[in-house]
Structure 1
Amino acid sequence: MDNVDFKDKYGPVALVTGASSGIGKAFADVLAAMGLDLVLVARRLDRLEKSAAKLSQEHGVQVRSVQIDLSAPTATQQMLDATGALEIGLVVSNAGFGMKGAHADNDPQAMAEMLMVNCHVPMQLAHGFIPRLRRRGRGGIIFTSSVEALMGCPYSAAYSASKALVKSLGEGLWAELQPDGIDVLTLCPGATESEAAANQGIDMSTLPEVMSAEEVARLTLENLANGPVFISSEYYRATFETLLAMPRRDALMAMAGQMRR
């Protein structure tokens, strides 16, 4: 699909959450280069406005920055209200964060906020935008999940569980919305360069086959019509295929041992 056809189906405007850094920012960069106008959502308004000015200057697109704390109960309604007058053809529900370590050591408030951002927002965002996309008769929704959604991951249990919800949500909606001409793709990236990883205390230099956020975003958009699930990393796809082929107890103990090391 060339840029003109892509914009006709998924444009003229795309909404991207978590757009101030990482994969979300990369989605914005690639979509702007394809000629789509954008609504960028995140907490850090200064970063959004800087990115918006750059994308508008380089690609001649209109970019709106919307500052929203996605852990707030009203976050989804704020996004729906902010885009009410726009023709959104693509919803990129990308925002999310995680935590690594023993589950008993996690901060309860942080876990509650993680569930709001990782689970509540994608579910409610899809609920709010599906009627709009149906009226258009075409469009798309992208959910950013994780390869950790493919099975419960020790020492990442809460995050893994939250991303499993996203994967199940995306798979179910893919089948529901196919008759309406709406493509749904759930992205399950492996190790990807991002601030989020650093904030979790992850040393990216210790991980194999780390992909750039730009490559993950580009490949995801190229595969938007090939749902329901897209694993962007061949390495991590093969790794989890191996784990899933093992007896589950053996796979979980192997992962736990690796995480402890």
Structure 2
Amino acid sequence: MRNSNKDGLAVVTGASSGIGAVYADRLAALGHPLLLIARRANRLEALAAQLQNQHNIDVETLALDLTSADDLRTLEERLESDNVEVLVNNAGGGGLGPLSSTNGDKMEALVRLNIVAATRLSQAALGGFRQRGKGTLINLGSIIAFWPSATAAVYSGTKNYILNFTRSVAMEFEDTDIRIQVVMPGPVRTEFFSSQGMSDSVFPDEYYITADQLVDAALAGLEQGEIVTNPTMEDPKIWEDMERARANYFASVSSGKVASRYLST
């Protein structure tokens, strides 16, 4: 990673499997000491032993539930006090299903994890980045941010938040050496669906990429200076067209006039 300080700690949330575990491996290969966060202590410990053996780096693990205010504060304090070089906000949940049949407590927990935790941890890391003049923040979004879904109302909303939050924060730091990126995966072969009692067959096989492919593409996008990385979008003109449409939308709603179709005749 360009401008990366190999003595700086890399922190990965949701690191016990899938995308988070691959990020941990890639950052370890670059020589970063690691702090790995997830709920499953046994999985974290096994991954830590593997990475220490393969890459000869220091790995610390913390079994935390980031929907818990106390556990979240524990990690915030580490981000504020340690020499953190990279934060990967990968921890997240899906909570798929119709809103009418969704348990309210589970819905709130999803918001706490996908929005509150990601926001507070980003803020904690960025404070240290600002003091040291550099650092890297990577937030995991999703293509569902652009695709309202009758069975993913809360999940879609949280990922739309992550997209706009990360892009807005990137604007704050655009004249610095602090790098900020939001990664927009589509379907990835992980435990995402099985952890919710669902099958990967919810999407056709050809829609999926592996976690390794996703992370390698995301890191390549980071090296290319992208703020928003769409790993499976072949033609970047599609994104450019969306950005132009967004600018046109904002210009059109800034007229200071009520649209004629809403005026009585």
TM class by shorter-chain length?
0.7 to 0.9
Question: Across the two proteins, how many residue pairs are aligned to each other?
Answer: 241
Post-superposition offset of 1:59: 0.3
Task: Decide which of 164, 185, 208 is 1:168's aligned counterpart.
Answer: 164
Task: Decide which of 205, 212, 215 is 2:213's aligned counterpart.
Answer: 215
Contact 2:67 2:113 survives alignment (8 Å): yes
Q: Is 2:103 the partner of 1:107? A: yes
| SS state at 1:98 partner | coil
Post-superposition offset of 1:182: 0.8
Contact 2:34 2:58 survives alignment (8 Å): yes
Counterpart for residue 260 of structure 2: none
Aligned AA for 1:76?
L
Hey, what's the Cα distance between the residues in 2 that align with 1:180 and 1:80? 23
Counterpart for residue 73 of structure 2: 77
Counterpart for residue 254 of structure 2: none
Counterpart for residue 137 of structure 2: 141
Q: Is 2:33 the partner of 1:7? A: no
Contact 2:48 2:61 survives alignment (8 Å): yes
Contact 2:65 2:72 survives alignment (8 Å): no
Q: Is 2:60 the partner of 1:64? A: yes
Q: Is 2:15 the partner of 1:19? A: yes
Task: Decide which of 30, 39, 45 is 1:43's aligned counterpart.
Answer: 39
Task: Decide which of 93, 97, 102 is 1:97's aligned counterpart.
Answer: 93
- More displaced, 199-208 or 73-82? 199-208
Hey, what's the Cα distance between the residues in 2 that align with 1:71 and 1:79? 12
Q: Is 2:226 the partner of 1:230? A: no
- More displaced, 15-24 or 226-235? 226-235
Counterpart for residue 125 of structure 2: 129
After TM superposition, what 4+ stretches of structure 1 lie above 3 angstroms from structure 2?
82-85, 235-245
Counterpart for residue 255 of structure 1: none
Q: Is 2:155 the partner of 1:159? A: yes
Structure 2 gaps, min length 5:
246-265
TM-score (norm 1): 0.84
**Structure 1 residues 156, 104: CA separation in 2 closer, same or farther (over 3 Å shift)?**
same
Counterpart for residue 253 of structure 1: none
Hey, what's the Cα distance between the residues in 2 that align with 1:172 and 1:227? 14
- More displaced, 27-36 or 57-66? 27-36
Contact 2:80 2:128 survives alignment (8 Å): no
Post-superposition offset of 1:235: 6.9
| SS state at 2:189 partner | coil
TM-score (norm 2): 0.83
- More displaced, 109-118 or 79-88? 79-88
Contact 2:80 2:127 survives alignment (8 Å): no
Sequence identity percentage: 27
| SS state at 1:190 partner | coil
Contact 1:73 1:116 survives alignment (8 Å): no
Post-superposition offset of 1:62: 0.6
**Structure 1 residues 151, 238: CA separation in 2 closer, same or farther (over 3 Å shift)?**
farther
The superposition leaves residues 36-83 of structure 1 with CA deviations (integer Å, 9 ceiling, x where unpaired) of 111000111111111001100100011100111111013332113335
Counterpart for residue 252 of structure 1: none
- More displaced, 133-142 or 151-160? 151-160
CA RMSD of aligned residues (A): 2.5
Structure 1 gaps, min length 5:
246-261
For the pair shown, the structure with the greater C-alpha radius of gyration is: 2
Post-superposition offset of 1:177: 1.2
